[in-house]
Amino acid sequence: MSTTVSPIALPAAAAAVTPGYWSQVLRRLLRDPVSVLCLVVLAAIVCGAVFAPWLAPGDPTVGSVIKRLKPVGTPGHLLGTDELGRDMLTRLLYGGRVSLLMGTVPVALALLIGGALGMVAGFAGGRVNAVIMRATDVLFAFPSVLLAVAIAGALGAGVGNTLLALTIVLIPPILRVAESATTQVRALDFIEAARATGADDFTILRVHVFSNVIGPVFVYATSLLSVAIIMAAGLSFIGLGAKPPTPEWGLMLNTLRNALYSQPLLAALPGVLIFAVSLCFNLLADGLRSAMEVR
Amino acid sequence: MSAVMQEAAPQGAAAMVEVEGLRKQFRVRGAGFGAPAKVVHAVSGVSFSLQAGQTLGIVGESGCGKSTLARLLMGLIPADDGRVSIAGANLSQDAASLKALRRRMQMVFQDSFASLNPRLTIEDAIMFGPRVHGVPPDEARARCHRLLERVGLDPARFAGRYPHEVSGGQRQRVNIARALALQPQVVLFDESVSALDKSVEIQVLNLLRDLKEEFGLTYLFISHDLNVVQYISDVVMVMYLGKVVEIGPAEVLYERPAHPYTRALLASMPSMDPQRRTLQAPISGDPPSPIDPPSGCRFRTRCPHAAPVCGEREPALVDAQSGGARAACHLLDTASGHPLAGKELS
């Protein structure tokens, strides 16, 4: 039990509850074969990216002019080489670092910012709600990909700017889900009962609203991971994301597109990984949703 | 039970709950585009006072302002006008004093499920209030376990459960324990037993009686069930369209109801005794809309004794000739100009 600075701090309540429910969810999730398969595939890809320096057979940026566009299965280059003679396996492993980062970090940031703003908007209601939600609607008016392209284009290429652009694009949908979930919870009697104890808004929001809103918002954010991965790859593909020597799946897909006729399998490899990761995130989100549904 | 009414208590003796001229209106949007806003007169000038240790039963049809009154008393919604004081302290909208006052008065809701956070264990739900008021965790937990035991739930079995893992009756016991966790002096029950099975209901009612004795509580008991109110109340207040039509000691009010509305309500109460047939016709129809309440006496549109004066002037609460109750009806006031005033009605 942590010592409380103010009487409103309730770490005990929050800590005692969350594991109970979430461990139940985890147990149910692990009983679903599809979710387990997705978890295994994702874990393999993430491990490959994290341990790339030790796993990769070569250097991702050093190529050889005489060994360009070798097919898959070439001795010494298990997955062939790219248009500059760089080892594909190495580049795919390293590419996962940037691609996964650009897919997950914006979702995490948007979950933090959008979730908090949505809860405040839903809980406060009235004018605060109107200001936050109408501002969100402005962002919503643009198609998300177009908005990401516009922001990334205005800020210039680079991984950091892509992260920022994707975060801005992902905030509105998460904010909306958080707002509507909060609005539903706010009307329930237990919020009024909490008010009747004399708890202030922040405590009610933290203890009573958060515990009920985080579920649906988290599931929704998981489903956005696949969208973010694809958008990040897309931005890199059109030259607004990672810059050339950096190994990144979307960028690799672009530079290899000239080889599509000569080495179709090779050219498709980064795309296969983007597809696999995004599919796994999507199926995992579905599995999580059904695991959380049971009361 | 002595019929302790506000006039029976010596002037200056502090009442536990004192309400004066409480008023609340809600604005609702009119139907159709550009229609003017309408005003719902939910609670229109309610006054009463309640001595410590007594139970006030508040009855009335749905929509008569019972729940709005409950929320006003708890300070959950601000009143337009009027004064509420609990144990001599005024209920204001000033946050600090409101928080202090919360400890004195707690509420048990009708819906036992919706009034518990589905993501908190029973223990955490009960501990929340004390923790908000700065009670150390260990002490709050000990208090929670004592209360669970007191309301008839084994802490070892129930403390770690979630609300959906216990039955409706058990959940309402949890809600009672939660309300008591702040050690209040007054507890307000808003239809708290209405949703329970009859067998569970009587168990909970008996529990409430015991708890009242043990902790020296004062109860405000809102219900539409006249039998339940008769069983638990010392004083009964009958509301109609946001107004008090009759208030008095339970035994007097149930034996000799003075107001035509109270009579009609009691007539609609099914008797357990087949020999005791209902002689008076039960009230028919629905109450008028509180958006546009009738002028004068609000009950006149359904009253069998309505006279022109009832639409012209609003009756004030006066002592009924029949006994200790006070009722708002022109029939009871010989000076009101009602043709039947002062006459004994069948």
What's the structural domain count of chain A?
A: 1
Query: Within a domain: residue A4?
Result: no
State the Cα–Cα distance between residues A284 and A278, nearest whole angstrom.
10
A143 vs B37, higher pLDDT: A143
CB contact under 8 A, A7 and B133: yes
CB pairs under 8 A between A and B: 93
pTM of the predicted model as reported, rounded to 2 decimal places:
0.79
Question: What percent of chain A clears pLDDT 90, i.e. is strictly above it?
Answer: 27
Residue of A3, A18, A190 to mutate for B, most B C-beta atoms under 10 A:
A190
Mean pLDDT, to the nearest integer, of A85-89? 84
- Exposure b/e, A177-189, CB count within 10 A at least 16 = b: bbbbbbbebbebb
Q: What is the mean pLDDT of residues B238-242?
A: 88
- The residues, ordered by sequence, that sit 6+ positions from B140 with a Cβ below 8 Å of its Cβ are B127, B130, B131, B181
Nearest-CA distance from B74 to chain A in Å? 7
Report yes or no on A15 lying in a domain: no
Mean pLDDT, residues A104-121 taken together: 93
Task: Please list every residue in chain B whose beta carbon sits closer than 8 Å to the beta carbon of residue A2.
Answer: none
How many angstroms from the chain centroid is the CA of residue A49? 16
The string of pLDDT tens digits covering residues B93-145 is 666 777 777 888 899 998 888 899 988 889 999 999 999 888 899 999 999 99
| H/E element, B331 | none
Q: How far apart are CA B96 and CA B102, in angstroms?
A: 10
pLDDT of residue B116: 92
Q: Which residues of A touch B120 (CB under 8 A)?
A: 13, 17, 207-208, 211
Domain assignment of residue A46, yes or no: no
**pLDDT given for residue A118 in this prediction:** 93
Q: Which residues of A touch B165 (CB under 8 A)?
A: none
Contact B126, A13 (CB under 8 A): no
Give the tens place of pLDDT for each residue, A151-186: 888 988 888 888 898 999 999 999 999 999 999 999
The residue whose two tokens read 């248009």 is A83
Q: Do A17 and B164 count as a contact with CB atoms less than 8 A apart?
A: no
Q: Residue B272: its pLDDT value, please?
A: 67
Q: Which residues in chain B are closer than 8 Å to A199, comparing Cβ atoms? A: 128-129, 132
Q: What is the CATH number of the domain that holds A179?
A: 1.10.3720.10
User: Do the domain assignments include residue A69?
Assistant: no
- The reported pLDDT for the residue numbered B197 is 85
Place of tokens 């200790």: B324
For residue A40, being part of any structural domain is answered with no
| Residue A295 pLDDT level (bands cut at 50, 70, 90) | low
Reply yes or no on whether the pLDDT at B219 is more than 90.
Answer: yes
pLDDT bracket for residue A290 (50, 70, 90): confident
Give dist(CA A63, CA B188) in Å, integer.
79
Pick the residue from chain A with its C-alpha nearest to B120: A17
> DSSP 3-state assignment of B265?
helix
What is the C-alpha to C-alpha distance for residues B250 and B252, in angstroms, rounded to an integer? 6
pLDDT beyond 80 at B10? no
pLDDT at B56: 93
**To probe the interface with A, which of B131, B162, B188 has the most A CB atoms within 10 Å?**
B131
CA of A22, closest CA in chain B: separation in Å?
10
The band of A19, judged by pLDDT with boundaries at 50, 70 and 90, is: low
pLDDT at B274: 67
Higher pLDDT, B265 or A176: A176
Separation of alpha carbons B195 and B200, rounded Å: 10
Which pLDDT does position B9 carry in this prediction? Answer: 42
User: Which residue did the predictor score with more confidence, A163 or B92?
Assistant: A163
Confidence at residue B95, expressed as pLDDT on a 0 to 100 scale: 66
Contact B61, B258 (CB under 8 A): no
B181 to chain A nearest CA, in Å? 10
In a domain, A197, yes or no: yes
What average pLDDT does this structure show over B179-197? 89
The rounded percent of chain B whose pLDDT value lies above 70 is: 86
- The upper half-sphere exposure of residue B143, i.e. CA atoms within 13 Å in the direction of its Cβ, equals 21
The domains of chain B, with CATH numbers, are 1-29+37-104+185-200+210-255 (3.40.50.300), 112-183 (no CATH), 259-269+294-346 (no CATH)
Higher-confidence residue of A64 and B174: namely B174
Question: Which residue range(s) make up the domain with A242?
Answer: 94-293
Tell me the pLDDT of chain B averaged across its residues.
82
Average pLDDT, chain A: 84
pLDDT at residue B88 in the model: 75
Asked whether residue A65 is domain-assigned, the answer is: no
Question: Which 141-180 residues of chain B touch chain A by CB within 8 A?
Answer: 160, 162, 164, 175, 178
Short-list A52, A58, A62, CA closest to A100: A52
Residue whose C-alpha is closest to residue B61's, from B268, B276, B204, B253: B268
SS3 B90: strand
Reported as a pLDDT band with limits 50, 70 and 90, residue A142 is confident
Pairing of the two strands B105-108 and B186-190: parallel
Window B:173-212, CB contacts with A under 8 Å: 175, 178, 182
Shortest CA gap B172–chain A (Å): 13
Q: Is the pLDDT assigned to residue B7 strictly greater than 60?
A: no
Identify from B94, B111, B119 which residue to disrupt to test chain A contact, counting A C-beta atoms within 10 A and taking the largest count. B119
Q: Enumerate the residues of chain A whose CB falls inside 8 A of the CB of residue B128.
A: 10, 13, 194, 197, 199, 207
A158 assigned to some structural domain:
yes
- What's the pLDDT band for B178 if we cut at 50, 70, 90? very high
A137-146, A235-244, B67-76: least confidently modelled range: A235-244
Q: Which residue has the higher pLDDT, A27 or B269?
A: A27
- Residue A237 near residue A271, CB atoms below 8 Å: no
Residues of A in contact with B131 (CB under 8 A): 7, 10, 12-13
Contact A189 B111 (CB under 8 A): yes
Can you give the three-state secondary structure of chain A, one letter per residue? CCCCCCCCCCHHHHHHHHHHHHHHHHHHHCCCHHHHHHHHHHHHHHHHHHCHHHHCCCCCCCCCHHHCCCCCCECCECCCECCCCCEHHHHHHHHHHHHHHHHHHHHHHHHHHHHHHHHHHHHHCHHHHHHHHHHHHHHHCCCHHHHHHHHHHHHCCCHHHHHHHHHHHHHHHHHHHHHHHHHHHHCCHHHHHHHHCCCCHHHHHHHHHHHHHHHHHHHHHHHHHHHHHHHHHHHHHCCCCCCCCCCCHHHHHHHCHHHCCCCHHHHHHHHHHHHHHHHHHHHHHHHHHHHHHCC
pLDDT for residue A5 is more than 90: no
Q: Which of A1, A17, A197 sits opposite B120 (nearest CB)?
A: A17
B116 and A190 in contact by Cβ < 8 A? yes
Whose tokens are 């036992």? That residue is B112
In 3D, which of A292, A274, A166 has the Cα closest to residue A224?
Answer: A166
Average of per-residue pLDDT across A203-224:
89
Q: Please give, rounded to a whole number of angstroms, the shortest distance from the CA of A181 to a CA of chain B.
A: 14
Contact B127 A189 (CB under 8 A): no
